[in-house]
Structure 1
Amino acid sequence: MSDPTTTSTTSPDESAAPATTTRGLQLSGMNWLIWRQHRAAFWTILAITALSVAGLVYQRADLIDQLTAHGWPDTAPDEWLPGVHAQRFQLVSFGLGFVPIVLGVFLGAPLLAGDLENGTAKLVASQSVTPSRWLATKLGICALVVIVCTAVLSIAFGRWWGPVKYESTVLGWSEGSAFDNSGPVPVALALFAFVSGVAIGMLLRRTLISMVVTFAFAVVIQVVWHFQRLNLGHVVTITTHKGIGPTAFPQLPEAALEIDRSLISGSGHTYGWGICAHEASEKVCAQKFDLVGWSVEYLPLSQMSSMQWFGASILFILTAAVTVFIFIRGRQRIV
């Protein structure tokens, strides 16, 4: 019979064990499985993003040096604009425009199509993990990668373009090269292309054909977005009654985008600005049609941010709708 006064002892190694086994935050379970399954794509996307951001930071530093050397911001734009390499903005923005398409084709389309094609989805369905949790984990991790990468690219590009955003000769704010690569728009476009690729892959269940269809769909998205971009703003109209000569043309805000111009008569009727092209003189034309001034429609640069958020909100709603469809379809028929 043991002595009741005897106390158990532990070795120093045993007492220190809990401290040595404590680890930092790590992926585990389903999160670790999804990351490991797609780690090649994730690391590739993250590495390319890091290199791209580094390049944009370098370009901004070089731009500031060039502008400062030409007297920016204390001199007129005509003085420091020669220090701006507009072709760099065009080239970089052209490349960034393909980011949503690439993410949709190479990350979204194969995400579920690959699992459905090679039978991995059947294996997952036979485990204790529910289809909803499996889909939520896959979509959540991938969406996080997409958001982080496109957001930092948007910020980096916006900071580079910021010093010259008022100069349309460098990069017009209403063009896709600037509008679609800054603010929330890159994130919204990339997320919508990504989840659309996932939905297409779920329906077609074949990786290659899903990538081809997703590419075509993403291109259609870009085309539709291109033609609807200006409709996101509220057109402002300014009129004058000081004649129709060049000196009487209204002064628009800096960097404003002119949508249309027309001539107005004393009775308020509007005529196309080319109505005087075949008249003997401007004076004769003004008398013939009783022209008294100009009417100009434009979009100011101040609306750019609200237009971007409005358009991004529409894309986020569409993304949410496609995501709901993926979950409904996935719960009903995942294998």
Structure 2
Amino acid sequence: MTTLTRDPARTAPTGSLRDSWIPRLGGPVWLVWRQHRAAFWTLIAVTLLGVLAMLYLRGQMMDFLATQAPTARRSGGLPPEFETYVDRLLSIGSYLSYIPVLAGVLLGAPLIAGDLESGTAKLVTSQSVSRLRWLTMKLAVPATMLALSTGVLTAVLTWWWNPVKGLSSGLIWTAFFSVTGVVPVAYALLTFTVGVAAGLLLRRTLVSMVVTLGIVVAIGFVWSELWRSLGHVMSISTDKGVGPGNVPPELPDQAEQLGQGTYFLTSSGDRLDWTTCLDRIDNDRAHTTCLESQHVVGWSIDYLPVDQMQTMQWLGAGIMLAITAALVTFVITWGRKRLL
């Protein structure tokens, strides 16, 4: 066996305390860990620090809520000081939303591009390690570390948010859709494989990182525009008129309103834009006559209910993982033929 693939337990008599368990790994797994151990230890450290910070901040929020009367929590009568805790929760959620960017740019893009640029890939595959095995381990080890780290962070954030969702307008479920549940893990794996594929094709670390950043930003924009379409849009309406004393219907608790806002509902079931007869709003009689001429009988509002959140998250994660699987297939197929 070569020095790259032989049992590291025989070849590494000494090592740092933090790596004392690593020699039990063998072959390409050990090699991948040794190559990227700085990134892996950083990922572990950031995960631990993030978990500790969230545990501390959650404890503060729950202690504050424990001092408030239950009726105040149910009626939305919490004091303004509660918004400070809300802002902290939102801030941590916004920080976690950068995980997919970092996964693609800092972990995925340099993964293979760095080895191609430095010649490590040629050295490794010229030994007894096949290209398939090397590519598989290069993908599997970082992906496992990334999935575990992201999963732990988002699980703790979900645990923090669950008991307080709905207590403030800032804690509505749509603000946490992409940073709780299964979505962050699938999202991070997707951007990671995008970075790996870019690095394999471009073969230059810096160029791959820049291109990956652009692609990840584009993915984020598309996701932010399309994820609401994963749900089944519900409607609520009234049919008692729109005159004085008739107000639009009230949405269910924690529901998010969609579309342009409130629509006018006609007797035939059609909906008109809220700007209908807007040019006569200054004259009540003229405005009422205009609406009557359009056969307006009430209001209609589209919304997404909170009980669809998990279904939408699993559907979105499934789509991301399917794309990820396609990218992994491409990386392995392309790499086996044109790696060097």
- 8 Å CA contact 1:236, 1:297 repeated in 2: yes
- 8 Å CA contact 2:238, 2:299 repeated in 1: yes
How far the C-alpha of 1:90 sits from its partner, in A, is 2.8
CA distance, structure 1, for counterparts of residue 65 and residue 289 of structure 2: 48
How far the C-alpha of 1:289 sits from its partner, in A, is 2.5
TM-score by length of 1: 0.87
How far the C-alpha of 1:46 sits from its partner, in A, is 0.9
- 8 Å CA contact 1:239, 1:294 repeated in 2: yes
Residue 257 (structure 1) aligns with = 256
- 8 Å CA contact 1:242, 1:248 repeated in 2: no
Residue 205 (structure 1) aligns with = 203
**Pairing 1:27-42 to 2, within 5 Å after superposition:** 27-42=25-40
Give the partner amino acid of 1:267: S
Residue 77 (structure 2) aligns with = 79
How far the C-alpha of 1:57 sits from its partner, in A, is 1.1
- 8 Å CA contact 1:154, 1:182 repeated in 2: yes
Residue 100 (structure 2) aligns with = 100
How far the C-alpha of 1:333 sits from its partner, in A, is 1.4
Structure with greater Cα Rg: 1
**Pairing 1:264-303 to 2, within 5 Å after superposition:** 264-277=265-278, 278-279=280-281, 280-281=283-284, 283-303=288-308
Residue 12 (structure 2) aligns with = none
How far the C-alpha of 1:84 sits from its partner, in A, is 3.8
TM-score by length of 2: 0.86
- 8 Å CA contact 1:168, 1:255 repeated in 2: no
Residue 142 (structure 2) aligns with = 142
How far the C-alpha of 1:237 sits from its partner, in A, is 1.6
Residue 17 (structure 2) aligns with = none
SS at match of 2:31: helix
Deviations along 1:183-205, one digit per CA (max 9) or x if unpaired, are 11100110000011001001111
Structure 1: state its 5+ residue gaps: 1-22
1:214 paired to 2:212: yes
Aligned-residue CA RMSD in angstroms? 2.0
Moved more, 163-172 or 60-69: 163-172
CA distance, structure 2, for counterparts of residue 114 and residue 24 of structure 1: 23
How far the C-alpha of 1:60 sits from its partner, in A, is 1.0
Give the partner amino acid of 2:302: E
- 8 Å CA contact 2:265, 2:272 repeated in 1: yes
Residue 307 (structure 1) aligns with = 312
- 8 Å CA contact 1:155, 1:182 repeated in 2: yes
**Pairing 1:11-160 to 2, within 5 Å after superposition:** 26-72=24-70, 75-80=73-78, 82=80, 83-85=82-84, 86-160=86-160
CA distance, structure 1, for counterparts of residue 128 and residue 135 of structure 2: 14
**Pairing 1:218-257 to 2, within 5 Å after superposition:** 218-245=216-243, 247-257=246-256
CA distance, structure 2, for counterparts of residue 268 and residue 78 of structure 1: 35
Q: How many residues align?
A: 311
How far the C-alpha of 1:293 sits from its partner, in A, is 1.2
CA distance, structure 2, for counterparts of residue 174 and residue 24 of structure 1: 41
Runs (4+) of structure 1 moved beyond 6 Å?
none
Of 180, 183, 187 in structure 2, the residue corresponding to residue 182 of structure 1 is 180
Deviations along 1:205-226, one digit per CA (max 9) or x if unpaired, are 1111111111111111111111
Residue 338 (structure 2) aligns with = 333
From the superposition, tell whether residues 67 and 77 of structure 1 become closer, same or farther in structure 2 (CA, over 3 Å).
Answer: farther
- 8 Å CA contact 1:239, 1:295 repeated in 2: yes
Deviations along 1:115-171, one digit per CA (max 9) or x if unpaired, are 100101111111111111111111111110010011011111111111222245223
CA distance, structure 2, for counterparts of residue 81 and residue 119 of structure 1: 61
